[in-house]
Structure 1
Amino acid sequence: MADSEWQVYGQRQVYGSPWVELWLADVEVPGVGRLDHHVVRMPRASTTAVVTDDQGRFLLIYRHRFITGRWGWEVPAGWADPGEAPAAAIAREVEEETGWRPGQVELMTEYDAMAGISDAHFRSYHVTGCTRIGEPTDISEATRVEWVSEAAVIKLLVGGEVPDGPSHAALSYYLGPHRLSHTVH
């Protein structure tokens, strides 16, 4: 079977806001034919951070998500403001959501969260060297902010207590490929 791409004949916006856009694309799918396909576009860069300290702990937030009706642990995350670099955005988000100011911000990985229907592109960072500056300034983000041991993070992941996809992806990537890539020579 030869490689083939979907042919796009046009797109029109159905809904738009500063947070999300819904588009309808007129596409031809190889072997299927022509059809309308929904596309969810995210107009701002999405960022997440795995924040660790020199004791091997992870800084997590505990919050409720009304859309899914679930409570769970998450890593700090957010969107870049217009003109703001994603690394600067995640540093700002970590500080606002946790009350800890990042020292070093290192890109770990990038991925497309739902490539079949959305252009939501995430950049996941590893943040270290944080300094406590006070209480979180964005109190809507979490009911708790805690430093959690690696063993506890693994239990949270395995136990389904990190239901947020970007948080799950960032923590799993850090615990696996990121760390392995820093130990393999």
Structure 2
Amino acid sequence: MSVWQNLGERTVYENRWVKVNMADVELPDGRHLDHTVIRLRPVAVATVVNEADEALLLWRHRFITEAWGWELPSGGTGEGEDPAVAAAREFEEETGWRPGPMRLLLAIDPMPGISTSHHRVYWSDHAEQMRAVPEDDFESTRREWVPLAKVPELIARGEVKSANAVAALLMLHHLRLR
């Protein structure tokens, strides 16, 4: 079995959100290379699918990629925080809706070649609206219940760009509409 060996890392930048390291990697043929490693806190992601098979999504702009798109509420988990609790918290802060019990839908690593960005996606089949304007209303310009039947079309048109949202919405589309 040929594997890349991480022989050690040195930190080149760090703040409370991210740590950027350079790894000394030995390839299976014995050569060495420096490889960037971005270490991030785990991410908790959430959505609710209602009885009409609609998912509550956020329409938001991402300044880094200069793009608008549909996303799922998400955020970093605190040290030792249960990811399901973090997902429910983020969902309520970003939508104004309190989800019912959260169930793990999937766990993904969207960029495993460079990052430890581990995402756990949760969903619930009901929620209660707690406030008309969410606590974190700056996170999105609007929040809408979007039919799961439209998910493939939205993705094909490039309106869902986030890897965790694409994976989760396609999984929910498959599970709920088959």
TM-score above 0.5, yes or no: yes
What percent identity do the matched residue pairs reach? 45
Per the TM alignment, residue 86 of structure 1 is displaced from its structure 2 partner at its CA by 0.4
In the alignment, the residues of structure 2 paired with residue 157 and residue 125 of structure 1 have an alpha-carbon distance, to the nearest angstrom, of 20
TM-score using structure 1 length: 0.90
> Is residue 151–residue 173 contact of structure 2 (8 Å, CA) maintained in 1?
no
Deviations 1:76-103 (A, max 9, x none): 1111122211000000000000000011
| Residues 18 and 124 of structure 1: CA distance in aligned 2, closer, same or farther (over 3 Å) | same
> Is residue 58–residue 153 contact of structure 1 (8 Å, CA) maintained in 2?
no
Q: Out of 35, 38, 57, which is 1:37 matched to?
A: 35
Q: How does 1:36-55 map to 2 (within 5 A)?
A: 36-42=34-40, 44-55=41-52
Paired position in structure 2 for 1:128: 125
Structure 1 stretches lacking a partner, 5+ long: none
In the alignment, the residues of structure 1 paired with residue 136 and residue 60 of structure 2 have an alpha-carbon distance, to the nearest angstrom, of 13
| Residues 60 and 54 of structure 1: CA distance in aligned 2, closer, same or farther (over 3 Å) | same
2:79 counterpart SS class: coil
1:47 counterpart SS class: strand
Give the alignment's Cα RMSD to 1 decimal. Answer: 1.7
Paired position in structure 1 for 2:70: 73
Structure 2 stretches lacking a partner, 5+ long: none
Paired position in structure 2 for 1:139: 137
1:117 counterpart SS class: coil
The residue type paired with residue 130 of structure 1 is A
| Residues 150 and 60 of structure 1: CA distance in aligned 2, closer, same or farther (over 3 Å) | same
> Is residue 111–residue 117 contact of structure 2 (8 Å, CA) maintained in 1?
yes
In the alignment, is residue 152 of structure 1 matched against residue 150 of structure 2?
yes
Paired position in structure 1 for 2:19: 21
In the alignment, the residues of structure 2 paired with residue 153 and residue 6 of structure 1 have an alpha-carbon distance, to the nearest angstrom, of 37
Paired position in structure 2 for 1:90: 87
Deviations 1:25-63 (A, max 9, x none): 001011361111110100x22021232011111100000
Counting matched residue pairs gives: 177
Runs of 4+ in structure 1 off by over 4 angstroms are: none
Q: Out of 107, 110, 115, which is 2:112 matched to?
A: 115
TM-score using structure 2 length: 0.93
